[in-house]
Amino acid sequence: MAKVEELIQEIQQLSPIEKEQVAESVFKSLQSETGVRKMKDLQACYPGEWLAVIIPAGEDRYAPQLGRLVAHSPERSFVWRQVAQLPATENVYVFFTGPAAAKGFGVIFHDTKDTPVVATVGN
C-alpha cells in the first residue's frame, strides 16, 4: 500500500500535461489488455460467424493464439465495416469460424499458372 501512496504523490507533483500523459498511458494499457481471449474460445462462442480480432503485441499476426474481439457477425460485410473504422495501426485478424464450403460442394483453387484444381468437401 505504501508504494501506491508514493506513486500517487509522484503523480500529484507532475504538471497537468504530464498527468494527462500518464492517464492516457494507463488507460491504453488497460484497454488493450481487457478482453484478450484464446482464439479457440472465440471460435467456440461464435460458430458460423465472421470475427475481427485485434492481435496483441507478441502474437503471430498470421496464426494468433490470443486476441481481443472487436466485431462478429454472420455477415462478412458488417465485420469489414467495423474493421474499416479501427485505427490503421491495429493488427486485425479477420476470419470465418464455419466450414469453408458446405458438404458435397466443390471448391476451385487457382495456382500461379491459372490452372484450376478442384477439391470436393465431403461425399
Task: Please tell me the distance from the alpha carbon of residue 106 to that of residue 121, in angstroms, as a whole number.
Answer: 6
Task: Please tell me the distance from the alpha carbon of residue 5 to that of residue 97, in angstroms, as a whole number.
Answer: 47
- Residue 2's identity, in one-letter code, is A
Q: 77 lies in a domain?
A: yes
Q: 30 lies in a domain?
A: no
Q: Which residues contact 58 (CB under 8 A, 6 or more apart)?
A: none
The pLDDT assigned to 21 comes to: 76
Q: Which domain holds residue 67?
A: 35-98
More reliable by pLDDT, 34 or 77: 77
Q: 88 lies in a domain?
A: yes
Q: 15 lies in a domain?
A: no
Q: 123 lies in a domain?
A: no
Q: 59 lies in a domain?
A: yes
pLDDT tens-digit readout, 55-94: 998 999 889 999 999 999 999 999 999 999 988 889 999 9
Q: 110 lies in a domain?
A: no
The total domain count for the chain is 1
Residue 109 clears pLDDT 80, i.e. is over it: no
- Residue 16's identity, in one-letter code, is P
